Amino acid sequence: MKNSKPLAERLRPTSLDQYIGQKHLIGENAVLRRAIESGHIPSMIFWGPPGVGKTTLAYIISKQVKRQFFVLSAVSSGVKDVREIYDRARMAPEAPILFIDEIHRFSKAQQDSLLGAVEKGLVTLIGATTENPSFEVISPLLSRCQVYILKSLEKDDLKQLIVNAVETLKADYGKEIVIEEDEALMQVSGGDARKLLNAIDLVVSMLNDENQDADKLVVTNEMTTKYIQSNLLKYDRMGEMHYDIISAFIKSIRGSDPNAAVYYLARMIEAGEDPLFIARRMLILSAEDIGNANPNALLLANACFDAVSKIGWPESRIILSQTATYLASSAKSNAAVVAIDSAQALVHKTGNLSVPMHLRNAPTKLMKDIGYSDGYKYAHDYPGNFVEQEFLPAEISGTRLYSPQDNPKETELRRSLKAKWKDKYGY
């Protein structure tokens, strides 16, 4: 019978030798491994994306150095919780390890409350954050901690996780399990071990449900995509479908519906989504889906990201709402995306074409003598700051990659480009 405990939890390593990834920190003779093995560990901050093993590594460190291990989440804990741990720490024979997940969510006052205990050695602090600690952790605390950067898991790390997962699931189901293709699983994970293991668990479970009598379960990219899309990972507390909601939010803005956009924004707010995640997605959208149809959209989205990074909940909801409704109401264009996609496809097709001689840099006399920069026309020397000359390699001369779309701003751009280039690019 299948174990009801989440696969990611069951496969959580309990020693450095079992730990997968972060070789630059805990590989043989790596700096953090040496510190752990010596038993002399400083207070530290683990900075890295979700699912790379920050919590697990903190726990392993506590076991290795044989210290008490206290865990707090900055989302749900406050100064009172910290003080209670201090009271317990005073009774401990050695300074316990205090692990604070999402430490960037602690306010300045809450972070201040950690200073004295860290300075006096009452606790050894290990903080985990997905955000740049230079901006999110107060300077006095940061100066007393060693910052270690944890990286997204590499392909080989993920493959090892898949092997470990398969061995465990074989025992659960009493069946042979074969990962025939793993590209879709890799893509779903995004270097996040927890996502990868959750995805494998889900796919194998659903595959087994559909093939009860089979003695062999074969996982393919097609199966992975099918099952993941129909059972998207959910928000933890609210049971909201994380990827569905953000997808609906982005598509509502793209579809120029501010009402739907703000509705899905509210869903994410109520589910406890990271405001920076929302702001980051709108920043991308402003270039991808609005672009030159309204250049102010990118400026507003960037200002939104900056403001949200400084403010946090609950006030950030107002800034996010203003930005979301503005972007949804704006004129739309994906011409910039089409342009760069077309340009990259052209580069892949044509390779490294020679830059025209008159556009080349000529820092030396030799380069000038062989014709570098010869014949270049400085645009500002001509009326309207424009003079017709060739900028593309000869092989692709006249190729149009940017096509302004049918909106007031880009219609104006098209007229301007046509006036300059006549029929060269077909504007």
* Domain total in the chain: 4
Full domain range(s) for residue 113: 22-149
pLDDT at 238 exceeding the cut of 60: no
Taking only the tens place, the pLDDT of each residue in 349-391 is 888 787 887 877 777 777 677 777 778 888 888 888 888 888 8
Average pLDDT over the chain, rounded to an integer: 85
Could you give the angle at which helices 79-89 and 108-120 cross, rounded to 10 degrees? 10
pLDDT at 239: 41
- 368 and 272 part of one domain: no
- 303 and 398 part of one domain: no
pLDDT at 30 exceeding the cut of 70: yes
- 262 and 356 part of one domain: no
CATH of the domain at 261: 1.20.272.10
- 121 and 58 part of one domain: yes
The residues near 115 (Cβ < 8 Å, ≥ 6 apart) are 140, 141, 144
pLDDT at 237 exceeding the cut of 50: no
Any idea which residue has 């270690």 for tokens?
148
| Global confidence as pTM | 0.53
336 part of a folded domain: no
Length of the chain equals: 427
Q: Which residues of 174-213 are buried (b: 16+ CB within 10 A; e: fewer)?
A: ebebebeebebbbebbebbbbbbbbbbbbbbbbbbeeeee
**Six-digit token pair at 80?**
């009172």
248 part of a folded domain: yes
CATH of the domain at 44: 3.40.50.300
- 322 and 267 part of one domain: yes
pLDDT at 104: 87
64 part of a folded domain: yes
pLDDT at 310: 82
The residues near 153 (Cβ < 8 Å, ≥ 6 apart) are 20, 21, 51, 52, 161, 189, 191, 192, 193, 196
**307-323 average pLDDT score:** 86
pLDDT at 242 exceeding the cut of 70: no
